Structure 1
């Protein structure tokens, strides 16, 4: 009877084989959005399977976004809706300052957190939309993430585009497809807005306000559906563990999104 270690290796190997069948290749760069609730199993086993599928020369990337330190985020606005001014002030005062070394990203799911916390993982510096990565390409992909650029040309998304990365939606839908946001930046004169978050400083913590492109993922499911219809063969679909999953080139998705957003969204919206 195999011991627990052997059992985990067998499971990793089976899942890695499913990933290869879907199209994940050794030595590649892979951006993963995952719902472990849909996939089943534990995130450590899935992370191991992803790394096995990519091999030692491949690089695994996950979003490590934080909404917990911003009073302009959707999560904050939902949290304080209906509260008094005093109660809102108490919530703001309790919000943790972003620290790339320690700040968790619970909204990104357990697989992303497992990768972020793995030995050797690196994280980009943006206090709202950081990415974490494991592998030989991690430092280059995550470098230069400007703090006033969520997901544009000075973010890891643009470096992933240059690296011809693949996107894996592991038990998630196109509403989770961060790559589409790069298309928002690449449309002519995208609308902009103010963002605010609390960051660490020598004095402990401070609020920082900046302007960036107004991000909107509300139409991403429709965008994803049109992407699949208009680019037959661009999206590979299959089962990984218990979840239906999709794999596609980030470049193809971003190029389609740039054109689609430019045509479908009214000017200034």
Structure 2
């Protein structure tokens, strides 16, 4: 959406201060551990853009809390599995040879949006070392959270999602739906019925690029919207406006457990 259209559709400018107040009214509090999924355009016209959004989130939870965002890079993966679009088969060998390996500092997010992409570069933000399913972390225990991320089962219990689950974390959705609610993939792990698959990604090992093989679940977010609708029918969540977006705040362990029952 263009800036001109955002301005026309916005009743007033959103600012760091106004977003901070909206987040507090929604129920976000100092010291919370929270993963944020966001749509920048849903917020309306924001003075300062993604910078103001991140600052508002930090203002509310403070360094006493932990702020997490997905920093996924699905394109740092086996090109033989790429879809929408796939590349020609005759390109595969060259692409595998030339594809840059995952780098904590340099590798951009892929399809995550402007807020997570900026957040990963923010001062004092730590990034977990997973080629596809990394997370950016700021605040309390950020280094511990980022460091404890296994290569196998990247959205499982030994990941920042697991930290949220074990530490009474919350999920904040800013104008997004359950189809991008990453915590629900942890529910797939707890359900125990989703099949395992082998994956490959280029990584740096001993200062050289290597293709590392690891084990994942065959993740499938297609049922998440329906599961999320049922979850809201059985659990209390906090809903309200943050800027122009419809925002939702929920207790992450409840969502994970509910999703796990679907996959059990």
Q: TM-score, normalised by structure 2?
A: 0.88
Report the equivalent of 1:139.
143
C-alpha RMSD of matched pairs (Å): 1.8
Report the equivalent of 1:243.
245
The question of whether the paired residues in 1 share the 8 Å contact of 2:192 and 2:263 is answered with: no
Structure 1's unaligned 5+ residue stretches are 1-9, 263-269
- Counterpart Cα distance in 1 of 2:198 and 2:67: 31
Report the equivalent of 1:171.
175
The question of whether the paired residues in 2 share the 8 Å contact of 1:146 and 1:154 is answered with: yes
Structure 2's unaligned 5+ residue stretches are 1-13
Q: Are positions 1:79 and 2:82 aligned together? A: no
Q: TM-score, normalised by structure 1?
A: 0.86
- Counterpart Cα distance in 2 of 1:215 and 1:187: 12
Aligned length, in residue pairs: 248
The question of whether the paired residues in 2 share the 8 Å contact of 1:179 and 1:254 is answered with: yes
Cα offsets for 1:32-81 (capped at 9, x unmatched): 0111122232111100010111123122110011112112686x222325
For 1:107, what is the secondary structure of its paired residue? coil
Report the equivalent of 2:5.
none
Report the equivalent of 2:261.
259
The question of whether the paired residues in 1 share the 8 Å contact of 2:72 and 2:132 is answered with: yes
Q: What is the CA-CA distance between 1:209 and the residue it aligns to? A: 1.6
Q: Are positions 1:215 and 2:219 aligned together? A: yes
Report the equivalent of 1:114.
118
Q: What is the CA-CA distance between 1:213 and the residue it aligns to? A: 1.8
- Counterpart Cα distance in 2 of 1:20 and 1:73: 46
Residues 53-132 of structure 1: matches in 2 within 5 Å?
A: 53-71=60-78, 76-80=82-86, 83=88, 85-132=89-136
Runs of 4+ in 1 over 6 A off after TM superposition: none
Residues 192-207 of structure 1: matches in 2 within 5 Å?
A: 192-202=196-206, 204-207=208-211
